[in-house]
Structure 1
Amino acid sequence: TLLISLWITLLVFPVSCEGIIRGKEVPPHTRRYMALIEGLKVCAGALIKENWVLTAAHCDLKGNPRVILGAHSTSHKEKYDQVFSIKKAIPHPCFNPQTFEGDLQLLQLDGKATMTKAVGILRLPKTGDDVKPHTKCHVAGWGSTKKDTCKISSALREANVTVIDRKICNDAQHYNFNPVIDLSMICAGGRKGEDDSCEGDSGSPLICDNVFRGVTSFGKCGNPQKPGIYILLTKKYLNWIKKTIAGAI
């Protein structure tokens, strides 16, 4: 049940409400970097500095969204929760909602997180290297756990996914270049599409071989023809993240 089934792609894909499909609930507070973003929709993100969360640009931040660190359950407040409002939301300047290029967003929190046994930082990768096909990765989120349901998961869940060659992802049996899965994206899916990210998982970090490599962007929950697509943390994107945080532009 990856995070991928973004609601965001209403223009590109039919409406579907889904979340981490299959997968498994993670032991509480073992993914200390996870940020639950509660706005009009639920998204996820990763705490990359005491006061910065990286998520997807397509996450709707209308209203008065809040970021919850240290969360496991979505149904009740927990003793380790740290709740912040968003001081500034900075989407990538090249974000294109039709192609999902640049589907990254930095959220500056209105305070600094305290590092605890439930809250920690996810380090950015040292390089913007590509992730080779067949690499094993995992993605966590609070997204829906069943196809065609709009309920989010009551607990943090995680799915194992494997990177798929972009040529396959772009072929006629898959995305058929609509949209194009380019070199700044990672295509990854689970067993016969059963393990996947879904609605509510948008913005969740993709971890490959213990390295933060991507951010959940779009897909169709659990559909093997439409595997999850993640924005690759390329050198260009990493430079943007570092410059933005340094200058808070």
Structure 2
Amino acid sequence: MVTMLILILLPAAFLLPPGAGAGEIIGGKKVKPHSRPYMACLNIRREDKSFRCGGFLVSENFVLTAAHCNGDKITVSLGAHNIKQQEQSQQKISVRRRIPHPQYNRETHNNDIMLLQLGRKAKLNKQVRLIRLPPAHRRVKPGTVCSVAGWGRTSALSKRLPNVLREVDLKVLDDEACLNYPGGIYRKYNTCTMMCVGDPKEQKASFKGDSGGPLVCGKTAQGIISWGPVNGSPPRVYARVSTFIPWIRRTMRRLQP
């Protein structure tokens, strides 16, 4: 069954680490155009394949995404709503430098975070803006309702990728919800670097097609869509941004011109 699901899903899915969904939106709705001006759509080439991820603008020349969204060449689209249209608001910028976390582990999905240094600064305006990062090591309270957005598929069995950005609200769970989940699906869950997100009683989740997008709580990016079960069911696991704030700040400072 698992094998069949993997075959049904994104052709590029085999390029991702096992179980690492690139965040698609299940059970969501279309976003009001440009209501999430920090969103980035990543077009990634790896060898002779291409696939899509999400990301978010944290500085005029830096985008945050998931480390498993790495590739040989990445182009970032900012200010996009419908990524198949030539919108005047869109800024397409090549990535100058890819900086995955030095302790990223492809097998356990631990430290699944990457900074992308853009080839030129983004022009900030109403359609392209930064999103705030959390204070270092400050956790989100379980029960908090946050949201995610992406250009990924809308169900585990759908082969179509929507062109328009979609969003869904998700509840942050306590770590035990993943650690104690039946079947040991989340045995690689790390309470320091990961967040458990999405009520298992609701068919709402991020999934394959747009990993690297932000989990937004209030107006702050608290998580990065990382991995979960191959059938798209919640809860799913997000990289805990607050854990990585010292690394993010240090890396950006080192690379600023």
Please state how far the C-alpha of 1:180 moved relative to its aligned partner.
2.3
In structure 2, what is the equivalent of residue 241 of structure 1? 248
Tell me the SS of whatever aligns to 1:245: helix
Please provide the CA RMSD for this pair.
Answer: 2.4
Tell me the SS of whatever aligns to 1:217: strand
In structure 2, what is the equivalent of residue 55 of structure 1? 65
Aligned with 2:162 (options 145, 153, 162):
153
Please state how far the C-alpha of 1:151 moved relative to its aligned partner.
2.7
The verdict on how the C-alpha distance between 1:18 and 1:114 changes in structure 2, with shifts beyond 3 A counting, is closer
The verdict on how the C-alpha distance between 1:206 and 1:80 changes in structure 2, with shifts beyond 3 A counting, is same
- Choose between structure 1 and 2: higher helix proportion: 2
TM-score, structure 1 normalization = 0.88
In structure 2, what is the equivalent of residue 32 of structure 1? 37
Maintained 8 Å contact 1:8/1:58: no
Aligned with 1:229 (options 215, 220, 237):
237
Please state how far the C-alpha of 1:208 moved relative to its aligned partner.
1.4
Aligned with 1:124 (options 133, 138, 150):
133
Aligned residues: 241
Tell me the SS of whatever aligns to 1:58: helix
Per-residue Cα deviation, 1:184-227 (whole angstroms, up to 9, x for no partner): 21111147241110112200011113322111101237744x42
The verdict on how the C-alpha distance between 1:43 and 1:11 changes in structure 2, with shifts beyond 3 A counting, is closer
The amino acid across from 1:45 in the alignment is: G
The verdict on how the C-alpha distance between 1:171 and 1:148 changes in structure 2, with shifts beyond 3 A counting, is same
Tell me the SS of whatever aligns to 2:205: coil
CA distance in 1, matches of 2:183, 2:223: 20
CA distance in 1, matches of 2:148, 2:183: 21
Q: Confirm whether residue 184 of structure 1 aligns to residue 189 of structure 2.
A: no
Aligned with 1:219 (options 221, 225, 228):
228
Structure with greater contact order relative to length (CA < 8 Å, sep ≥ 6): 1
TM-score, structure 2 normalization = 0.85
Consecutive unaligned residues in structure 1, runs of 5 or more: none
Please state how far the C-alpha of 1:163 moved relative to its aligned partner.
1.0
The verdict on how the C-alpha distance between 1:192 and 1:112 changes in structure 2, with shifts beyond 3 A counting, is same
CA distance in 1, matches of 2:42, 2:16: 20
